[in-house]
Amino acid sequence: MTQTILVTGGAGFIGANFVHRWHSRHPQDRILVLDKLTYAANPKHLEGLDRVELIRADIQNGELVAHLLERHAVGKLFHFAAESHVDRSISGPAAFVQTNLLGTFALLEAARTVWAGDSQTRFLHVSTDEVFGSLGDTGYFSETTPYAPNSPYSSSKAGSDHLVRAYHHTYGLNVVTTNCSNNYGPRQHPEKLIPLAISRMVNGEAVPVYGDGQNVRDWLYVEDHCAAIERVMEAGNAGEVYCVGGDNEWKNLDLLHLLADQVDEALGRAAGTSRGLLTFVKDRAGHDRRYAIDASKLKRDLGWTPAEQFPSGLKKTIAWYLAALRK
């Protein structure tokens, strides 16, 4: 059956990859993309896709969101739009509060007003594992982990998570939330670790390594994240939270070593060339030491598992960026 879905932040990294996935898997559906088109978005990510309409607007414009939901009989809203770069949140936190907290509030209000208790509609909120704070050498984040955000970015996302929860319990809005680990893959903004490192390695420039390089992150290929989001929208229980992770922990320095070796191989360079570009710099303020996700609920209840292996996913990512850099 033909339907229209609304995707906020659909010209950004994860959002654009999700739009491509939904477009290919649901050939009858129309996709409305609502995006402010900040520096981190790229409308070219959506070029060539029929049935996709890009609307340049701020998610804080609740009247517009309500109009879109009502006029197009939208029954599914995927909320990706967010300011997401931790360093930028440290130097300029106001934009993060505006977009991540107040923007989410505006979307929830629009959905509550238009959908008015219709249980067939659903609001999917895409969040991050950073809301849980920092882990020690052992343990994992799960859906029951207490919130302990340590940056303006993670704090703004934590606040938005709580709003989503409240709108379900107070107003009965059909919501689901996903908290995901670090994503990598095509279409990511070059300020993020992996695309930044690739571009600098290609250009023979220094690649910054924060602190001692031993901070640990759980990495997930963006296509696997998009598959999880689709599955949660389809079969997740209303009001519940699902943690999404790759069972793929890497210390930053080890990741950069692997990435450097793969870039050298892709470019036909002598082994070790790109490793020599790694440069230790002062650690980021409030830099969480380790993140790791326990995604067993998502696997057990909804049957999702990540399909991409990290070395092969990294090679695909490098190939995409090398092709983009040649354009």
Active site residues: 129-130, 153
> Which residue is it, tokens 């790109």?
274
| 81/11 Cα distance (integer angstroms) | 9
Is the Cβ–Cβ distance between 125 and 95 less than 8 Å? no
Q: What is the dihedral of CA 84, 258, 20, 168, to 10 degrees?
A: -40
- Which of 194, 191, 182, 165 is closest to 225 using CA atoms? 182
What sign has the CA pseudo-torsion 247, 249, 255, 258? negative
| 194/127 Cα distance (integer angstroms) | 20
- Which of 167, 106, 157, 91 is closest to 128 using CA atoms? 157
Considering only CA atoms, give the Rg of the chain.
Answer: 19
Collect all residues with Cβ–Cβ distance below 8 Å to 73 and sequence separation of at least 6. 3, 4
Q: What is residue 263's three-state secondary structure?
A: helix
